[in-house]
A and B are shown apart, each in its own frame.
Chain A
Amino acid sequence: MTPAVSTTAASGAQPDYTSDEMMSIAAARALEDGKRCFVGIGLPSTAANVARRTHAPGLVLIYESGTLGSKPDVLPSSIGDGVLAETADAVIGVPEVFNYWLQPGRIDVGFLGAAQLDRFGNINTTVIGDDYADPKVRLPGAGGAPEIAASCREVFVVVRQSARSFVEKVDFVTSVGHGSGKGDREALGLPGAGPTLVITDLGVLRPDPETAELVLTQLHPGVAVDDVRAATGWELRVSDELTRTEAPTAAELSTLRTLKEASQ
């Protein structure tokens, strides 16, 4: 296949932003104005708040601690930060979050992180190692993720890419992506579309429409396909229509950095 863009990294001056900043901004750009977005703390919250300050002022942020329409002026330090409640359209109990708002499909986009992600977008945040009872590493666990992954209309995963975290098969399925391939979600009765975007510090992967396998569709500036392959634990397929992410604009970077600084 012939990729549509150069697959080697452009040489030249070092960019004036980090790969994490590129990832946050790429994730922010993916959020359309007016969408209702279920947000976790960390990269998802950063991205959603950058989006709200740039192209998507009408983005509705929903935090699992029980806030609908939070408009924080700083990045919340935790899911329970008071600023989320004080700036929300409504504050609700946690059972209501999951039962009334998430489960019936009222939320457009679920934003999730992952400790491990596999080629079909399944997510592990529970244990590393084959033995659940005697894990190599005990991770925090599920939180809201399994039902976010099931019931949001679509899911965006934001995660730093490495061969250790991007694995052929996750050690534990905490949250279902596309199962073992196309059709699995429908067979399981999962109402949402599952992961439609995986945004990393190297590029963007999307599920192949035929097989649901994650395919590299977009490279961030300065990143080569081989860099992404080296950071992927399965034989990564590359889209015929590979594109190059636009570098962050000055406005995007300053929005992101102002938010980060205000939250120190």
Chain B
Amino acid sequence: MADIVSLTDGVGELVRDGDVVALEGFTHLIPHAAGREIIRQGRKDLTLVRMTPDIVYDQLIGAGCARKLIFSWGGNPGVGSLHRFRDAVQHAWPVPLEIEEHSHAGMANRYVAGASGLPFAVLRGYRGTDLPEHTATIKWITCPFTGEELAAVPALNPDVSIIHAQRADRAGNVQMWGLVGVQKEAVLAAGRSLVTVEEVVDELEPVVGQVVLPHWAVTAVAEAPRGAHPSYAQGYYERDNDYYKYWDSIGRDRETFRGWVRDEVLAEGSATEATGDKEGVR
């Protein structure tokens, strides 16, 4: 049975310095509140894994939480660049950032292998591109049946995966719907998992297209209303497109970014402690 915990305790107990950590959510249900909590708790030397490191990882990278990023597309969707990510790669600020770069197909298959308990996955990918030259985790394998040469990528098995879902019940069964990305695979591939949810309810009403993660497959659940903001949670709130544009102005400048960490992230933590309110409020 998954433990129902506070976001502070969930991150505090499950995310450790030096861990391989995956925050997943393919533009929908991005665990932003958990990302800010990792910054507040000052985690260091993380290997961050995510198909689409958008602004949630720009924040973690800018705050100096990461030493390595494993990813397939890093940008601010619909807006442009991730300035903290670029600053880290191009100028090692605030700390050097090693990168391990894949395609979406490669990353998705790495999670599938991890969730399946297999050491690697095969796909018809990367052929002719310059990625294998720079990414040691892309190799070639010959099919023993047909002789076709295919790409092989190793399983991703994060120490901890964190996702955001719409609901959980009090036993910790998790329910999500809409675009479900690679979240199920990320949780099943991980040693530990934390699921933040919009609400904990007595009973999970079925929803069309739902994915349910049984409580025994999840380590901990934390209620975090609006925890995916500025991304969206289908059925709860829309994407805050203005925030993505706003982020461009914050991330562009080191001092402005530091001010954001101080005024928005650390202050949010103090407010939470003062009121006992676990809700992430920007």
Residues of chain A at the chain B interface (Cβ within 8 Å): 41-42, 64-67, 77-82, 84-86, 91, 93-95, 97-99, 102-103, 126, 132, 134-135, 137-138, 140-147, 150-151, 172-176, 179, 184-185, 188-191
Contact = CB atoms under 8 A, between A and B. Distances in A.
Contact of A138 (B72, B90, B148, B238): B90
B89 A66 contact: no
A114 to B, nearest CB: 14
Contacts of B180: 66, 91, 93
The prevalent SS among residues of A at the interface is: loop
A65 B103 contact: no
A129 to B, nearest CB: 10
A78 B129 CA distance: 26
Contact of A95 (B89, B102, B108, B149): B108
A65 B27 contact: yes
Contacts of A137: 86, 90
B89 A146 contact: no
A175 B102 CA distance: 12
The prevalent SS among residues of B at the interface is: loop
Contacts of A64: 104
B129 A98 contact: no
Nearest to A93: B180
A179 B123 CA distance: 20
B152 to A, nearest CB: 15
A174 B130 contact: yes
Contacts of B108: 94-95, 97-99
Interface of B: 26-28, 51-52, 71-75, 77-78, 81-82, 85-86, 89-90, 101-105, 108-109, 111-112, 123-131, 134, 148-149, 178-182, 184-185, 209, 211, 231-232, 234, 238-239, 241, 244
A189 B71 CA distance: 25
Nearest to B149: A189
Nearest to B51: A94
Given A138-B90, A141-B71, A93 B239 contact: no
B105 A65 contact: no
Given A65-B26, A93-B185, A140-B75, A175 B127 contact: no
A140 B73 contact: yes
A142 B73 CA distance: 6
A140 B244 CA distance: 16
A79 B27 contact: yes
Given A99-B109, A142-B72, A188 B178 contact: no
Contacts of A147: 103-105, 123-125
Contacts of A145: 103
Contacts of B27: 65, 78-81
A138 B86 CA distance: 6
Given A41-B77, A93-B184, A143-B104, 8 more contacts: A91-B180, A94-B26, A94-B181, A95-B182, A98-B123, A137-B90, A140-B81, A143-B72
